[in-house]
Amino acid sequence: MNNLEDELHDQLSRRTFLGKTSAGLGAIALASLLNPTKLMAGSEENRPPGKPHFSPKVKRVIYLFQSGAPSQLDLFDYKPKLETMWGQDLPESIRKGQRLTGMTAGQSRFPLAASKFKFAKHGNSQMWVSELLPYTSRITDDLCFIRSMNTEAINHDPAVTFFQTGSQQAGRPSFGSWASYGLGSDNQNLPAFVVLLSKGRNGDQPLYAKLWSNGFLPSVHQGVVFRSGPDPVYYLNNPPGIDKTSRRRMLDYLGKLHQEQFKQVLDPEINNRMAQYEMAYRMQTSVPETLDISKEPDYIFDMYGPDSRKPGTFAANCLLARKLIEKDVKFVQLYHQGWDQHGNLPNDIQIQTKSVDQPSAALIMDLKQRGLLDDTLVIWGGEFGRTNYSQGKLSKENYGRDHHPRCFTVWMAGAGVQKGMVYGETDEFGYNVLKDPVHVHDFQATILHLMGVDHEKLVFKHQGRRYRLTDVHGKVVKPVLA
């Protein structure tokens, strides 16, 4: 061929190549612009391990999150010093100029407020517990208290987000999503990550879907909210005129369309979406059966308390949590609102503890009698603690407490943790950690460790960076491990 023919041949070859590939390349480019995580989700680096890094102590987690921040000084962390110094100002040598919220930063005084409620030692472990928690006090020998929890967040939204996702900013995957991604599911008919919501008397602190979001992980790992009532999962039931056979036929055809679309755009999220549709189809049978508590014997309802018969209450959700982990749901997240007691704390905390004390203890006893506590971990706690000084006017009968991130208490029970143990210590004012601090990232690393996961190895590459639940921090708190 002469030079003109060579040039024309090259042009035609390029046109043919570009014509055949432009649609695919364009789709890939568009997909990467719309959601950069989609393509990376299918890479070898981001393939979920699907199994633990080492032998786990914990197969399932029930996290009883107390949204609004319970007052550790009125529940678990007894401080006689506050009684002897009642009404005196918090010494500056203790506060050390630490940051306060805008709600108390302008106070001229910070009068120390001892708890109005009596404390006593309980169990062989002789743990201090408030009279507000008579049922919890009976199971102290099964509990592992961490009294030295601390966080940087000082307001509710970033603090709750921090505990649940490892970051104070929204957008990261939640704890349950990481567990689902890293360990997979043990029941193909139910989600690996289920969320249950309940409100206390003062449920004024909002909870957002970002707390159980999959973030940049594949959407199949997002938490699924189970609600009380005839429609526990939105859009799960067939619409009018559609029966089970019709829905099965529709899903089969939809699956074929998705397969063709996947061949064109190579977007793994297409397969994730189809997996969710199929899960919803299977859940139509499994969810009503799992959430049906009508066959529970009376002694179980008596154990969890009268509220356990009322759908949507904390007690009813604790009972459902037990049923869910019986079905091998890996991560059950309960959120209970109502702990934000800036004023009128003595009255409000009595109402709040009455709604959670009996069912929390009953859950531990119920799991224990069924042998499920041997491989299930239960966690109880909020996003930060409460101040030792009163917010607003202080009297012998009434006081409030502001947010306090320096030190607070959570407890755990079940597989892999020490029983009847208190870890960490706060100063005599209950203001700073005195011994063995446990940061939020340390706590997260420890829970993952119990589930057989190395928190430094459970990573996902997103926008050029390798992310993990504990960010670039966290160490396993080995002394609390059994």
Label the pairing between strands 425-426 and 433-435.
Answer: antiparallel
pLDDT at 102 over 80: yes
- What average pLDDT does the chain have? 85
Q: Which pLDDT score, from 0 to 100, does residue 26 have?
A: 44
How far apart are the C-alpha atoms of 270 and 266, rounded to whole Å? 8
pLDDT, average across residues 314-340? 95
- 39 domain residue, yes or no: no
pLDDT digit string, tens, across residues 6-37: 544 454 454 444 444 444 444 434 444 444 44
Q: Which pLDDT score, from 0 to 100, does residue 309 have?
A: 93
- 107 domain residue, yes or no: yes
3-class SS letters over 225-241: ECCCCCCCCCCCCCCCC
Phi, psi of 260, deg, nearest 5? -65, -40
Q: Nearest to residue 319, comparing CAs of 62, 65, 29?
A: 62
Q: Which pLDDT score, from 0 to 100, does residue 250 have?
A: 65
- 25 domain residue, yes or no: no
pLDDT, average across residues 63-82? 97
- 31 domain residue, yes or no: no
pLDDT, average across residues 387-399? 94
pLDDT digit string, tens, across residues 416-433: 999 999 999 999 999 999
pLDDT at 375 over 50: yes
Number of separate domains in the chain: 1
Range with lowest mean pLDDT among 2-6, 61-65, 272-276, 282-286: 2-6
Q: Which of 89-98, 363-372, 458-467 has the highest mean pLDDT?
A: 363-372
Q: Which pLDDT score, from 0 to 100, does residue 8 have?
A: 41
pLDDT band at residue 49, thresholds of 50, 70 and 90? Answer: low
CA-CA-CA-CA torsion sign (54, 329, 68, 357): negative
- 256 domain residue, yes or no: yes
Q: Which of 198-202, 267-271, 318-322 has the highest mean pLDDT?
A: 318-322
Task: Find tokens 């030079």 and name the residue.
Answer: 3
- 44 domain residue, yes or no: no
Q: Confirm if 110 and 374 have CB atoms less than 8 A apart.
A: no
Q: Which two tokens stand for residue 10?
A: 């090259």
Q: Confirm if 433 and 408 have CB atoms less than 8 A apart.
A: no
pLDDT, average across residues 88-113? 91
pLDDT band at residue 297, thresholds of 50, 70 and 90? Answer: very high
- 32 domain residue, yes or no: no
How far apart are the C-alpha atoms of 86 and 80, rounded to whole Å? 10
CA gyration radius, the chain: 26
- 162 domain residue, yes or no: yes
Q: Nearest to residue 115, comparing CAs of 374, 441, 482, 385?
A: 385
- Within 8 A by CB and 6+ apart from 366, the residues are 300, 303, 304, 319, 322
Q: Which pLDDT score, from 0 to 100, does residue 128 have?
A: 95
Note down the domain range covering 425: 60-480
Q: Nearest to residue 138, comparing CAs of 153, 149, 127?
A: 127
